[in-house]
Amino acid sequence: MFGLNRNIWLLFLTQPFALAISPAIVLISGLVGKQLAPSPQWSTLPLTMMVTGMMLGAFPAALLMQRFGRKIVFLGAMLVSCSASGLAALGIAMSSFVVFLIGVTFIGATLAVVQQFRFAAAENVDKPELAGRAISVLMIGSVGAAFIGTELAAWGENLLSVTYSGSFITLMLASAIAFLLLLFFTNTKPTQQHHNTKDPIDWSAIVRRPNFIIAVCAAAIGYGVMSFVMTATPLAMHDMMGHSLGSTKWVIQSHIMAMFLPSLFTGELIRKFGARQVIFAGLLAYLGTTAFAYSGVAVFHYWWALVLLGIGWNFLFIGGTSLLTKAYKPEEKYRVQAANDVSVFIFQALTSLSAGIILFAAGWSGIVTISLIPTVALILLVLVLWPRITASA
């Protein structure tokens, strides 16, 4: 179907369950953090620790896949995710902020593995020009994560005696289903053992490639700005403005749907117009987010701001991923992919941590104003490097 093989469709089915814990943490980690943290300003630290886990897990995940293949690492990650979810639930039940943070950090490490799904999809296509379509199809599968994760988290809110501890128990089910589905995944492209696999690669040449620069910056800034605004939203809506948890959940669900539903056509846009044009369209969507966020604090304003934020992230992330596949040689693949993800996670960790601090210090308007700075910077960078990017990119 659509020229894509069984492996890609299997990843499509697995993605909603493997990724479900991420939107759940986005929805409730700030609320749990506010209960457990010594100060409200550290309420977004759990999300930051999840991203830190993703950052720390990126290189080990890539190297393990290079050594053992993708399947065994995918399966191992789902087992760790189940265990880490249980640890996070225990931390909440014990009112231990430290134990909860350890749990979400390990969850983040498993999400670094899930991030590799997109590269697995891209490398399983029969024709290189279908890579963007494969990534888009995979991202469409993530729409389910918006509902599975947030609904499981909400359902488990009062499941146990301590609020939200049951949420992480229910999330273990999603990881278990992902594990079962991944049993049917096959390493159709066996890991090649090049004689120079462990030799150093010329990073100085790689970081000068315009495709690499734009790809990494699009993914890092796209993810960072999205995480910054999204992390602050539940606290701003529910805690500061008094909007109901149901309204907050609806805005977050709509945002996550907007992150992934455009994947129905993003791949075709990349194929027709090129990744750089799609990246620029994502930046325009981010400017739209700023406009709506400045215009008011009703649920309507939050909804439109977060929907445009999701669309912008989709264009930036898929466009950047597609462009990255043109920025390395085969023997550089795993390490360049890992370097890209580490860059993304570092920026995301910094923005998610600062979101709580800035929100309680400068309010929602401070969040919106600061998010505009990296967006404008990336617009200028794309315009400067645009002539140096190959026409096919």
Please write the tens of the pLDDT for every residue from 180-219: 999 999 875 544 444 445 566 777 888 888 888 999 999 9
pLDDT, residue 111, reads 94
Place of tokens 């800034």: 221
Round to whole Å and give the CA distance between 283 and 364.
20
pLDDT, residue 129, reads 65
**3-state secondary structure at position 37:** coil
What value does the mean pLDDT take over residues 58-76? 89
> What percent of the chain has pLDDT above 70?
94
Residue type, 76: G
Structure-model confidence comparison of residues 83 and 360, the more confident one = 83
| The pLDDT value given to residue 271 | 81
The domains found in the chain, sorted by start residue, are 6-185+203-388 (1.20.1250.20)
Run of H or E residues at 152: helix 143-155
* pLDDT value, residue 203: 79
Mean pLDDT of 279-305: 94
Q: How far apart are CA 229 and CA 235, in angstroms?
A: 11
48 pLDDT tier (thresholds 50, 70, 90): confident
| 215: Cβ contacts below 8 Å, ≥ 6 apart | 275, 320, 321, 323, 324, 327, 340
Higher pLDDT, 393 or 302: 302
Count of residues in the chain: 393
The pLDDT value recorded for residue 284 is 96
The count of C-alpha atoms lying within 13 angstroms of the C-alpha of 99, restricted to the half-sphere facing its C-beta, is 14
pLDDT in tens, 259-290: 888 877 887 888 888 888 899 999 999 999 99
The pTM (predicted TM-score) of the whole model is: 0.72
pLDDT at 346: 84
Q: How far apart are CA 308 and CA 303, in angstroms?
A: 9
Rg of the chain over all Cα atoms, to the nearest angstrom: 20
- 27's tokens: 């929805």
Residue 316's alpha-carbon distances to 66, 255, 264, 389, in angstroms, are: 27, 15, 15, 16
Closest by CA to 316, choosing from 223, 178, 379, is 223
Q: What mean pLDDT comes out for the span 355-370?
A: 90
Supply the pLDDT for residue 266: 84
CA distance 167 to 24: 8
Q: What is the pLDDT of residue 331?
A: 74
Euclidean distance between CA atoms 27 and 341, whole angstroms:
23
Q: What is the pLDDT of residues 142-154, one digit of tens each?
A: 778 878 998 899 8
DSSP one-letter string for 303-335: HHHHHHHHHHHHHHHHHHHHHHTTSS-GGGHHH
Helix (H, G, I), strand (E, B) or coil at 185: coil
**Structural tokens at position 121:** 């999809």
Q: What percent of the chain has pLDDT over 90?
A: 41
Of 228-237, 305-314, 336-345, least confident by mean pLDDT is 336-345
- The residue ranking higher by pLDDT, 365 or 190, is 365
Cα atoms in the Cβ-side hemisphere of radius 13 Å centred on 106: 19
Q: What is the mean pLDDT of the chain?
A: 86
pLDDT digits (tens, 9 = 90+) for 84-122: 999 999 999 999 999 999 999 999 999 999 988 988 887
Give 125 or 7, the one with higher predicted confidence. 7
Looking at residue 390, its pLDDT comes to 55
Phi and psi at 245, nearest 5°, equal -65, -30
